Amino acid sequence: MNYLSVFLSTTAICLVSSLVWLSQSDMQAPSFAKSPKAIQEIPAWIAFGDLRGHVEPCGCDPNTDLGGVTRLAKYHQNQKKLRDKLWLFDLGNNLHESGDMNRSKFAEKTIEFMRPDASLFNLLEMKQKDLDFVFSKKRRLVLWNQKNIQSNLVKNFIDIDEHFMAIGLIQPIGKSPEFKKYLRDFTLKELKKFKKNRGKQMIGLVHGDKNWVKTLEESKLFDLIIAANQRPLGLLPDHEEKVKPGMLHVGGSVYMVPFFAQGFLLSEKISTDKKPSLEEIFEQPRQNNQSKEFDFTQPEIVEWLHKGYEDAEILKNAMSVFRGGLQKEFQNFVTKKSSKKKKGKFLGAATCEGCHQKSHNIWKNSSHAHAHKTLKDVNQHENLECLKCHVVALEDENDGFMSEALTPQFKGVQCENCHGPMMGHIQNPKDKRYHKPTEALKEVCVSCHHTPHSTEFDFEKYWKKIKHP
Ligand code: HEC
Ligand code: HEC
Ligand code: HEC
Ligand code: HEC
């Protein structure tokens, strides 16, 4: 079995990243004995990844309103105007996992527009069924370290300029520890040779766990390592997982891109003749407290591309294609669902009012009751991705919300989002099957209240606000 098929069949180790920007300003290039050229300073750079088709922030939670591709593209465009040199690195995992082409295409468009200096080609991209889609764009892909992966499509490295090359490094994967060790040692040995032969400073774009990143850092072969954060492919963020508000400078030459994140750092390398206007500088200079320790627990915090950065103008066309795609998706959904025979398991909150007046009143005044209006206010009420948490039973094929016009009784988050479909209950209120245990009801909250939509969620605190005896 060659390693490519090992990759394709392994889902356990997929390392994901997110969006981030950095500069080099206070980064020191380590000295290495045999480099024929003078050590060059690394220019300002921005790194991103793990977009997963994430077009815009949803707006559910200010903590995670950190950007989106459109903001990133605009920011990058602005920064490029201000600098002689600005590198852009793409850590991959940018297409939508489920193969949603509308989202994936938007991500691709943005990436194409930004033209990264190097893109790490990784598992998610390999898994795209429509590989032409990935490869057809002129992306400069890097992937190294698995000697058996040899394809004309995959370049091992990229010469960023006359002094630097970028190289992609995915953690060695294999069944036995011996095999993994062999791959690791082989990789390091080859890297050393490679570096010596080419006489360039090296930038690693890395997917892998802590040990893998540490191994690379300790090899002292790299001037800069940009590592993707790790999370198994397809795993939703845990509701316990708080978003770390920053790009992590892990220590030494290692930087790590956090989840769902769009942060940046200002480089001091702005040439005087291109002094930025105030509008152009919305960022704050980075704190200069760089630690040289290699320490995953002491990340350096940076600024995010928060709401103040909003500007999607430059991707207007791509955006309108994307919106058209969403509209089509929604129409297809309504046509399909309305053609199905209706089951009538869900009743809507109005039905409960007569017998549970007190509960109903409390609910009616809670923000759950207005969750559909919330979408409407931001013109996202025909976006299926948003609707699934803001209405009743969107995803039930024969029941629940279809559209505001067809099913107004299912707008917003209602009793039945938490208590389940209640037809059986009103037929026989004594039937205990519909009286769910408290624990099960608590559990239900986090199906919606999870990162990145609700990072502050805490059952005790939140329940107090909607308690309805
Ligand atoms: C996984 C479920 C989920 C999805 C998907 C989701 N939301 Fe939300 N949304 C929530 C939750 C939960 C909250 C409440 C967060 C809190 O207060 O902790 C919320 C809150 C909001 C708010 C803030 C309401 C207020 O009063 O401040 C807006 C706006 C919003 N969502 C818009 C959207 C849009 C637009 C989309 C789609 C792009 C979307 N949501 C998708 C779960 C979701
Ligand atoms: C015809 C009146 C009636 C309607 C309509 C009705 N219920 Fe009830 N419900 C009852 C009665 C009576 C009980 C108490 C049964 C018992 O304690 O044995 C009850 C119990 C419950 C309980 C369990 C309370 C507990 O202490 O465990 C929940 C939850 C509930 N109803 C939710 C709903 C929801 C949601 C709706 C609307 C979809 C609804 N009910 C509609 C009469 C009704
Ligand atoms: C079907 C998805 C869904 C479920 C399940 C859900 N929520 Fe929500 N919740 C939302 C959405 C969406 C909002 C934002 C509503 C808005 O403002 O438009 C929200 C808002 C809230 C708010 C208001 C937050 C604030 O600060 O104003 C509280 C409190 C809350 N939910 C508590 C809970 C609790 C407790 C549970 C579980 C018992 C729960 N929710 C289950 C989707 C859900
Ligand atoms: C966001 C989730 C959520 C929504 C929306 C919701 N409930 Fe509940 N409900 C709960 C939870 C959780 C409990 C159990 C609390 C406990 O056991 O401490 C509960 C308890 C109840 C009880 C039992 C109260 C008691 O103490 O006996 C009734 C009755 C009830 N809900 C009716 C309703 C009705 C009617 C609606 C809509 C008008 C509604 N609920 C909306 C989550 C929800």
Q: Which residues contact 82 (CB under 8 A, 6 or more apart)?
A: 270, 274, 276, 280
Looking at this protein, which amino acid is placed at residue 328? K
Candidate of 60, 449, 457 to mutate for ligand 3, largest count of ligand atoms within 8 Å of Cβ: 449
State the distance from the centre of ligand 3 to the C-alpha of 76, rounded, in angstroms: 35
Cis upstream peptide for 237 (omega within 30°): no
For residue 63 and ligand 1, the question of a CB distance below 6 A is answered with no
**Ligand 4 — pocket residues by CB below 6 A?**
349, 352, 356, 359-360, 363, 368, 413-415, 417-419, 438, 441-442, 466, 468-469
For residue 148 and ligand 3, the question of a CB distance below 6 A is answered with no
For residue 374 and ligand 1, the question of a CB distance below 6 A is answered with yes
Residue of the CA atom closest to atom 27 of ligand 4: 469
- Ligand 3 atom nearest the C-alpha of 370 is 18
Q: How would you classify residue 94: left for phi > 0, otherwise alpha for psi between -120 and 50, otherwise beta?
A: alpha
Distance CA 99, CA 103 (A): 8
For residue 445 and ligand 1, the question of a CB distance below 6 A is answered with no
> Which candidate, 267, 308, 270, places its Cα nearest to that of 288?
267
For residue 371 and ligand 3, the question of a CB distance below 6 A is answered with yes
The half-sphere exposure of 261 on its side-chain side, counting CA atoms within 13 A, is 29
pLDDT value of residue 19? 34
Q: What is the DSSP letter of 249?
A: E
Note the CATH number of domain 342-466: 1.10.1130.10
pLDDT value of residue 384? 95
Q: Are 29 and 35 in contact (CB under 8 A)?
A: no
Note the CATH number of domain 3-318: 3.60.21
State the distance from the centre of ligand 2 to the C-alpha of 374, rounded, in angstroms: 28
pLDDT value of residue 37? 53
For residue 134 and ligand 3, the question of a CB distance below 6 A is answered with no
**Ligand 2 — pocket residues by CB below 6 A?**
347, 351-352, 354-356, 415-416, 419, 422, 425-426, 429-430, 435
Phi, psi angle pair for 72, to nearest 5°: -60, -45
Candidate of 353, 357, 359 to mutate for ligand 4, largest count of ligand atoms within 8 Å of Cβ: 359
Mean pLDDT for back-to-back runs of 10 residues, the chain (469 residues): 29 28 36 52 81 79 74 82 84 78 84 87 66 65 55 63 88 81 83 86 86 88 83 43 52 68 39 39 34 44 63 78 94 95 91 96 97 96 95 96 97 96 94 85 89 84 94
Distance CA 52, CA 91 (A): 12
Q: How would you classify residue 344: left for phi > 0, otherwise alpha for psi between -120 and 50, otherwise beta?
A: left
- Using the Cα atoms of residue 445, residue 451, residue 453 and residue 459 in order, give the sign of their dihedral: positive
The residue assigned the tokens 């980064």 is 27
Q: Which residues pair with 226 in a beta bridge?
A: 205, 255
Structure tokens at 234: 């397809």
Structure tokens at 19: 């969006």
State the distance from the centre of ligand 1 to the C-alpha of 452, rounded, in angstroms: 9
Distance CA 97, CA 344 (A): 33
| Domain chopping of the chain, boundaries | 3-318, 342-466
Distance CA 126, CA 348 (A): 44
The pTM (predicted TM-score) of the whole model is 0.81
3-318 shares its CATH topology with 342-466: no
Q: Which residues pair with 283 in a beta bridge?
A: none
